[in-house]
Amino acid sequence: MSRRVTVVAVSVIAACLLAMTLAAGGKKTVEPDLARLVAGKGWKIHNRSVRALNEPGWKAVRFDEKSGDGVAWLEDLKFTDGEIEFDVRGKNVPQQSFVGIAFHGVDEKTYDAVYLRPFNFKSEDPTRRSHAVQYISHPTFTWQKLRNENPGKYEQPVSPVPDPDAWVHVRVSVASPRVRVFVNNSREAALSVEQLSNHHDGWVGFWVGNGAGGDFANLKITPAK
């Protein structure tokens, strides 16, 4: 073997070892293929139909509208702490747009979630504006229970105010028991709460509320370790 070939071989091995070291010591971000969601492969969908969204510049999916909540769990990935990022689009129609992400899922009825009510973003009613982003923990802590017993604690307005008919970027930071929600790359959390559930790991999935559909794209999940 020539000296040049030997040097190249050693360099390749060193690069591989460095890559392995970085991968082992760093955070690994998972970016699920949403085409598999449409095909029903690697995802478990409850109470919704999902189709590919044909829109220039976006590799997105659309959930249809049905009575009851809907969720699509990403199978084979259990999430504890870390960050979940995604883009979502609802619509500016009162009581018809509840769009977000569920995490620490056990089944279709047991999970924590944060979601947006886009129709409240620009409401002239300050009370409605304060209901723009919400934390829930099903099945016990529904939005009705939390609003009645702890008004203003588990839901907040969003500032700067997003366009209710446009794509919105959401980053959810989970450091159990603290959950913080950042909207459109704001440095200030739109919502910061302590989890109410006693389960601190589980599935992650797109979530829509009663009667609502929604569009989702660019899901990224980065475990804390």
**Residue pLDDT, tens place only, 4-29:** 433 334 333 333 433 333 334 456 99
* Predicted pLDDT of residue 115: 99
The identity of residue 102, as a single letter, is A
Give yes or no for a contact between 172 and 190, defined as CB atoms under 8 angstroms apart: no
What is residue 90's predicted lDDT score, i.e. its pLDDT? 98
Whose CA is closest to 102, among 54, 44, 147? 44
Q: In angstroms, how far is CA 166 from the centroid of its own chain? A: 17
Distance CA 171, CA 96 (A): 23
Q: pLDDT tens digit string along 100-154? A: 999 999 999 999 999 999 999 999 999 999 999 999 999 999 999 999 999 999 9
Q: Token pair of 224, please?
A: 């804390």
Beta bridge partners of 63: 50, 214
- Bridge partner list, 114: 101, 135
* Separation of CA 22 from chain center: 26
pLDDT value at position 222? 98
Instruction: Residue 173: name the closest of 121, 76, 103, 105 by CA.
Output: 103
Q: How does the average pLDDT of the chain come out, rounded?
A: 90
Helices (H) and strands (E) in the chain, counts: 4, 14
pLDDT digits (tens, 9 = 90+) for 24-60: 445 699 999 999 999 999 999 999 999 999 899 999 9
Cα distances (angstroms) measured from residue 53 to each of 37, 119, 165, 166: 12, 22, 16, 15
Which numeric CATH code is attached to 31-223? Answer: 2.60.120.560
Predicted structure pTM score? 0.88
Tell me the pLDDT tens digit for each residue of 158-207: 999 999 999 999 999 999 999 999 999 999 999 999 999 998 999 999 99
CA 168 to centroid of chain Cα atoms: 11
Q: What DSSP line would sit under 15-34, residue for residue?
A: HHHHHHHHHHHS---B---H
> Residues 138, 100, 104, CA angle at the centre, nearest 5°?
45
